[in-house]
Amino acid sequence: MKTFVTRTLLAAILLAPAAASASPFVQVGDTLKLQDSVGSLGGGEFIAHAVPAGSFDSFVTFCIQLSEHIVVDNSTVYTVSGIGLTSVGAGASALTEQTAYLYSNFRAGTLAGYAANSAQSANALQWAIWSLQSQAPLPGLDGATQTLANAFIAAANLAVTTNAWDGYGNVRIMNLVDANRRNVQDQLTTVPEPASLLLVGTALLGLAGRLRRLR
């Protein structure tokens, strides 16, 4: 039994880095390309794809900055230079709780008023994110799209001021650089929930404790 537990513990420790590299979430050092989707403001929706495929799950994202640019095609590859609460380069800003609220709900499919595969919804949400991140000058919107963007902003402000939403959840800013290590337009992403990381750590600690008792 002791030998079995020892081998199990060693296997768990050795496999931990491999599991991290195969995370469904994008990580610092990963490379990716962006595919254009609905939206016509020069921002999201974008779809981030791992290069090579499989190092993380593809996800839909929106950009943070107006004064940085990015190429959206099948060949331009970017590297994730950081994941945190601040964008870098031109138009850099700290992630706001309101932006985190909107993107968290978008990723969960619970953002009221957002219609899937709708350019109007994508434009409204991208405009709202730029506004909440204090980007300027904001592009003009038609009346209906502006109304929807204003509704997104109002919902985010209400959630924060009433403490229905507090902090940033698992939303972060993904800093990207090109092949020449130049900053490009940073994008939104999510990171693993702290609870899931805690479960892994607790399991390893429990296994280590059992091993000590068997000695």
pLDDT at res. 2: 43
pLDDT at res. 194: 79
pLDDT at res. 198: 47
pTM of the complete model: 0.82
Same-domain status, 112 and 49: yes
Domain extent for 159: 26-191
pLDDT at res. 23: 82
Same-domain status, 68 and 141: yes
pLDDT at res. 129: 98
Please answer whether residues 60 and 35 qualify as being in contact, where contact means their C-beta atoms are separated by less than 8 angstroms: no
Same-domain status, 212 and 110: no
- Measure the N-to-C terminal CA separation of the chain; round to a whole number of Å: 10
Same-domain status, 75 and 172: yes
Same-domain status, 59 and 158: yes
Report the domain count for the chain.
2
Same-domain status, 180 and 213: no
Q: Which residues of the chain fall below pLDDT 70? A: 1-22, 195-215
pLDDT at res. 206: 52
Distance, in Å, from the CA atom of 47 to the CA atom of 116, rounded to the nearest integer, reads 14
Q: What is the dihedral of CA 95, 98, 100, 101, to 10 degrees?
A: 170
pLDDT at res. 209: 52
Same-domain status, 151 and 205: no
pLDDT at res. 213: 53
Rg, Å, the chain Cα set: 20
pLDDT at res. 74: 84
Please answer whether residues 55 and 30 qualify as being in contact, where contact means their C-beta atoms are separated by less than 8 angstroms: yes
**Encoded tokens for 197:** 């990381």
Same-domain status, 135 and 203: no
Same-domain status, 197 and 102: no
Same-domain status, 145 and 175: yes
Distance, in Å, from the CA atom of 147 to the CA atom of 132, rounded to the nearest integer, reads 15
Please answer whether residues 133 and 51 qualify as being in contact, where contact means their C-beta atoms are separated by less than 8 angstroms: no
